[in-house]
Structures are given as structure tokens and as C-alpha cells.
Copies of this chain bind each other. A is one copy, B any other.
């Protein structure tokens, strides 16, 4: 996530009561050993993991270990020497890569705007071999390249073994058995769950390589997918409490929350993410009927929506035209976000009404319903173009506007297909750049009854990642340029990203 909408002079206001409950919900991670790579290459030459032991490595040699699947966990290397006794430290470089292509990029050449510190490269000096070298950090990877930077002329390094202890708070045995006859859908379904599995950690992380952090927008999509698979209900609840427990002094929730060393809101606000909190809570309660969560989190949830109503909606019930500066919707420089944010706000109001109903507060339920109705009407008036037969936002046609106002139930009956086609095919219209946005596009197609188009897009978009060798789904994917990076180098891309995990949810709910 780009760092947008940063709060100046940020002061956190943690709620100890809520954070104690979040702490108590901390999951016990499950550890699974992957005791060896499934294949390897030394200086480009393919070999079996067994024969690796017979291949002493000199300065400059490179071994690439392929663990056969994307893993998140800790790595241990069993290293020994060949030749004379080790008479100088072994100086090694380790490069961890989620996608093989990352190994072609040199960290020194990375000058993008993300921190280079995310690049999973370590340099080690090993004074005493043989040794079992347990690396202290967690990595997200499938490929591990070991480069011998130096030994001495008298000895070589031998890789006796390598293992990864994968970790996740999710449990494969919780996933209901599904019969998915279609092979392509099955592959997409599986990769989607692997993505969610690898992101389900101490919290629902956005990406285990980067940012390793709890974001509200990602949480919603992870939670939806988790309900049909791992059902990590306690982790989801913990995440809800973390957001509620770390609100800003004015009651708003941060776009993301840190958990170490203590829970702390990031000084970043994204309107649409905050508006989704009542939605995530409402969906959680649909799954659990958790009275404690409703009691604790109702008011924090309503506060999110109220704050936007109070600050960002004009007297006509329309999102103010500079709202985009505090909204996300999608990675896009050119996108006008007003219409899409209006859509998110309407959905948020619906969720607030449902929450109030659950809490037995008929009065507030009716108020939220009325407000939602007002905003729906206002949205139609403000954003629908009779001339263009689609929604315009600040005069701009984008799929984003069609999608969110469709999801909000504002799309006029029978107009969706033409509006979507127009936004899709209009030259110069903002592209959908993230799987996050593509998920909502598929959801909007389904909402509009365009099920075949939804399935076709799901297969085409997420399938393109699989065709490019993905084990897990990515943070960003442009099917026309699969090695693209919004960060200036695929070496910092996250190739296992929570907001990309929804195909399992969509397939489960709509396509089997």
C-alpha cells in the first residue's frame, strides 16, 4: 500500500479493554516441516536434492533450491565443508523469492519508492562449519538461492540439507471437502486457499513478504474467504478488536494496525477501508452470532460511518468532490474516486442498519436505512449520465464507479452490462490494477446477474497468474504485463497477497 492520507501530529488513543481481548485471541501458530527442497540447480544445472550433497560449492557458485510451493516460515540450512578444514569464515548470500523471476533482479539496482529493506536477501558469515544454521527471520518464498560469496582456496561449502518450517494460524483440516470438477477452477480455488493460508498468521496479514500487516480492506476479503474455508473466526475477531482498540482520538479507524511491539494504529486513514469496518463486523456476526463482539464493537463500527457522513457528504447526500484524497478503491493515479466512495458509504450504511437491528436498536436501524435510501437516490442523480448510460465520477468514466455503485444497488435495472462494457472498452479509462478491485468487479458482475461474465473474468484474471507460474495470488497483476511492478521492480512485489485470495469464496458461493 502506498502511504497516503497520513495524519499530521498523530496521537494514538488505544483502548486497553478492547486490546486485552485482542491479545487473548492471539492464535497459536501451526508449524509444518518441509524437510527439503523438491529440486535444485547449481550454476544452472538441474540436480536432485540428494546429489546436492555431492556438489561442493566454491566462491561464486550458486545453488537454487525449489521448495515446490510457496511457503511462509523459518528456514534452517545444514551446511558442511569439503576440502581442507575450514580456515576462514564462509560468506554466503541468501536470496528468497516467491517467484523465480525475482532472482533475476539485483537488489542494488532497485531504486523504487518502497524500502529496499523488504528485499529478502541476507548475507551471512559462518565461522564454524559444519553447522545447522537457523535463520532468525521469517520468509515468504518458494525459491532459495544460496550464493557462495567467498570461502577460501582450501575448502568448499556443501549443502547437506535445507528445510522450511512453515507457519500459519489456519488449519487445512478445517476446510470443508469440495468437489470441483473443472480443473481450471480447481487450480484457482487451491491457489486461492494457499494464499489465504500463508496470510493467516498472528493477524490476517496483507502479504507475508510485505507489508506483513493487518489492513482493513484486505481483512474484509480474507474474512469472506476464510468463512468458506479455514474459518479462522478467532483471528478475524482479533483483527476487529485491534482496529476498534486503536482508533484515532476522533474515533476513526486507521487503514492498518501494527501489532509489534504493542498494538498501534498506523497514522494513515483510508475512508473506504474505515467504511468497510461495519461491513466486516456485520459479516462476522452473520457467521457467529457473537454477542460479545456486537456489544463491544457496535459503537466503534457506527462511528466510522457517522464520521464520513458528518465530514464528507454534502447537503445533497453526495460525496464531496475531494473525497478521493482520503480514499483508496484501487491503485490508480488518474482515478476519480467520488462515485466509488459513495458506493462504499451506502454499503456501510446498510451494514450499520443491520448491526443496529441485531442490537435491537430499531430507531437507529431506521435512521441508517433512511440515510442509505437518501444516498442511493443522491448517487443516481449525481453520478448517472443518461447521455453516457453509465456512472460518471468527476466527469470520468471508470469501471470503479460502475462496480461500487452496482454493489450499492444504484445501477439502474438492465443497464449494467452496457455500462460495464463501456467502462471496460473506453480508451484512456482508468484500468483496474489490483486483485482487490478485480474482486469487486466480479462481485458487481454477479450482483448484476452477469454470472457468465463473472466466471470468465475470474478464470482469465486469476488464471493468468497461474499461467505465469504462481503458487499463490499476487498483490498486483496486469495480465498484459505479468512482470510489471507498481514499485519499480518485481523484487519488491508481494506474490502472495491477501486481497487476491477471494476466488475460493466466489467459486464456493457462485460457481459450484
Q: Which residues of A are in contact with B by a Cβ distance under 8 Å?
A: 3, 6, 10, 84-91, 113-118, 122-123, 125, 127-128, 130, 137, 149-154, 210-213, 258, 260-261, 264, 266-267
- Please give the count of copies of this chain that the complex contains: 2
CB closest residue in chain B, given A266: B85
Chain B nearest CB from A259 CB (Å) reads: 10
Q: Are A117 and B84 touching (Cβ within 8 A)?
A: no
CB closest residue in chain B, given A257: B85
Q: Can you list 28 residue pairs at the A/B interface with Cβ under 8 Å? A: A3-B87, A3-B152, A6-B154, A84-B266, A84-B267, A85-B258, A85-B264, A85-B266, A87-B258, A88-B114, A88-B118, A91-B117, A113-B153, A115-B150, A115-B151, A115-B152, A116-B149, A116-B150, A117-B125, A117-B149, A122-B125, A125-B137, A127-B137, A127-B212, A127-B260, A128-B260, A128-B261, A130-B261
CB closest residue in chain B, given A258: B85
| Bound-state Cα–Cα, A218 to B258, Å | 54
Chain B nearest CB from A155 CB (Å) reads: 10
Contacts A123-B122, A125-B117, A261-B130: A3 and B150 contacting too (C-beta < 8 A)?
A: no
| Bound-state Cα–Cα, A84 to B264, Å | 11
* Other-chain contact of A91, B84, B116, B125, B210 (Cβ < 8 Å): B116
Contacts of A150 in B (CB 8 A): 115-117
Chain B nearest CB from A492 CB (Å) reads: 10
Contacts of A154 in B (CB 8 A): 3, 6, 267
Q: Are B151 and A117 touching (Cβ within 8 A)?
A: yes
Q: Are A153 and B117 touching (Cβ within 8 A)?
A: no
Contacts of A6 in B (CB 8 A): 84, 154
Residue among A91, A115, A125, A154 with max Cβ neighbours from chain B (10 Å): A115
Chain B nearest CB from A147 CB (Å) reads: 13
CB closest residue in chain B, given A138: B127
Other A-B contacts than A125-B137, A127-B212, 19 sampled, CB-CB below 8 A, are: A6-B154, A85-B266, A86-B258, A87-B266, A88-B115, A89-B118, A90-B117, A91-B116, A91-B117, A113-B153, A115-B152, A116-B150, A117-B150, A117-B151, A117-B152, A122-B123, A122-B125, A127-B137, A128-B260
Q: Are B3 and A153 touching (Cβ within 8 A)?
A: yes
Chain B nearest CB from A246 CB (Å) reads: 11
| Bound-state Cα–Cα, A3 to B127, Å | 19
Q: Are A115 and B89 touching (Cβ within 8 A)?
A: yes
Residue among A3, A87, A113, A210 with max Cβ neighbours from chain B (10 Å): A87
